[in-house]
Amino acid sequence: MITRLHRCRGIGSVLVAGLSAGALLAGCSGATSPQPAPSPSHVSSSPSSSSPRDLAFEATPSESAEQKRLATTFHPDDAQPTGLYLPPNTPVTVTVDRPADAPAPVLLVGTYGLNGTDSGEEEEPRTHELPAATTTVSDPTGGLLYVRYTNDGGSAPGITVHFGETARPVPYHVLGATPAAQWRSALDAAKDVPVAQLVGEHLVLTVSLDSARRNAGQDPDALLREYEHILAVEDTISGLDGKDPRDRRSPLRYFVSEGRAGINPNAYYPRVCYPSDSIDEVLNVPTLKESWGMWHELGHMHQQTAWTWDAVTEVTVNVYSLAVQRDAGRPSRLADDGTPAEVRTYLTGPAARRSYDPMADKQPFVGLTMFEQLRLAFGDGFYPELHRLTRRSATPATAEEAGQYFAVNASRVSGRNLTGFFTAWGLPVNAKTRADVTALGLPAPEQDPTTLAVAKAP
């Protein structure tokens, strides 16, 4: 089970037949997939300009289909941004031009995680069906507008949606399409709207107008490119190399939104929520390049359910954080906070007292060391292939089965019998798992992975 919200802390066996050890150890690349981009015709958001309200949309997969394909608990979302804001209790006329064979779109009012908390008490976007050619929509809370236009059963034609004049444009920047000067002009001129939005190929970043203005000196394209790079690194270690349709990067976007002051950064199904009193950290390129907190929260979006049991929710998330840190050429976080000494104390203690789950829950960086030793022992292709394997496997039904799934399939991916390694770490390996691993006929590791010093990891 995964807890409802995942906060940044300081910061049964399933076998897949027919895959050789060589194939399992193959590496991956950061290939991209086609992404429906916001139409360049509506990137202008200055009230002094003629902001077009006829927006074109292409169908995307649904968020549920992508969640299932990626085999993750959290996921990107299928809401496509418009750059328009609807005030509370204000009717807006929405006209949809769609072929007869096109599915009906849905209008969403409100943004995932905006003004959110770390307790689960926040408003979800409200949905309004758009089955007719023209629909009048009013919403008591108001908010940014999005269009959900999905099709999981093959192709669907594009549609055009027209929004009436009561929908107000907000400062809205699209990576590679909006000039930086236009973004800054829109921030200066904006009134009667509370938010601003930046949109990349895989990201929707929504912040208060005050926060956007405070950071207006930043190059918005450079900021979005850094987010895209972080996501590309985390997608790469997730094995999303695009060589097989099951392993393509998602065409949907992750939502990152400004939350309330004083909360912990957190992630929930469709979004990352970052506190308003820390938001400048993730709106500036130099500090975003050092933001373990953002790497961590975006990492939650990549955790696969099959090998995320309760005790490792705040542990395996940092497999992705470490990948971003390595990509930046920085020393391992595992060299900090006394972790190497704590690892030695734990691994050299009496075997009978080693119990991985309670330890990892209290000492997540010590627990992370077990996962990092696997990468050091078996190479950078280990986690990409584990992710690919998991996308082809059935998800375990219980937390206990998730741990056993990991023990079996880590052995399968590495080509080595790792039951001794997991036993040394105090991770329970039951009789069925031992039998399943034995049946694979794998040799023991040539070097004991528990001896590898992660503090010196490249």
Torsion-angle region of 123 (φ positive above 0: left; ψ -120 to 50: alpha; else: beta): beta
Query: What Cα–Cα distance (Å) separates residue 192 from each residue in 55, 172, 195, 202?
Result: 22, 15, 10, 28
pLDDT at 321 over 70: yes
Residue 51: phi and psi, rounded to 5, are -75, 115
User: How large is the average pLDDT for residues 392-407?
Assistant: 93
Per-residue pLDDT, averaged over 75-104, amounts to 97
Based on the number of CB atoms within 10 Å of its own CB, is 112 exposed (0-12), middle (13-18) or buried (19 or more)? buried
Single pTM value for the model: 0.89
Query: What string of H, E and C letters represents the secondary structure of the chain?
Result: CCCCCEECCCCCCCCCCCCCHHHHCCCCCCCCCCCCCCCHHHCCCCCCCCCCCEEEECCECCHHHHHHHHCECCCCECEEEEEEEECCCCCEEEEEECCCCCCCCEEEECCCCCCCCCCCCCCCCEEEECCCCEEEECCCCCEEEEEECECCCCCCCCEEEEECCCCEECCEEECCCCCHHHHHHHHHHCCCCCEEEEECCCEEEEEEHHHHHHCCCCCHHHHHHHHHHHHHHHHHHCCCCCCCHHHCCCCCEEEEEEECCCCCCEEECCEEEEEHHHHHHHCCHHHHCCCHHHHHHHHHCCCEHHHCCHHHCCCCHHHHHHHHHHHCCCCCHHHCCCHHHHHHHHHHCCHHHCCHHHHHHHCHHHHHHHHHHHHHHHCCCHHHHHHHHHCCCCCCCCHHHHHHHHHHHHHHHHCCCCHHHHHHCCCCCCHHHHHHHHHCCCCCCCCCHHHCCHHHCC
Q: Read off the pLDDT band of 48 (50, 70, 90).
A: very low
Average pLDDT of the residues of the chain:
89
Residue 123: its pLDDT value, please? 77
Please tell me the predicted confidence (pLDDT) of residue 456: 66
Phi, psi of 286 (to 5 degrees): -60, -40
- Name the band, by pLDDT with cuts 50, 70 and 90, for residue 455: confident
pLDDT in the model for residue 120 = 75
Q: What is the pLDDT of residue 395?
A: 87
Asked whether residue 21 carries a pLDDT value surpassing 50, the answer given is no
pLDDT number for residue 457: 58
- Give the percent of the chain with pLDDT over 90: 83
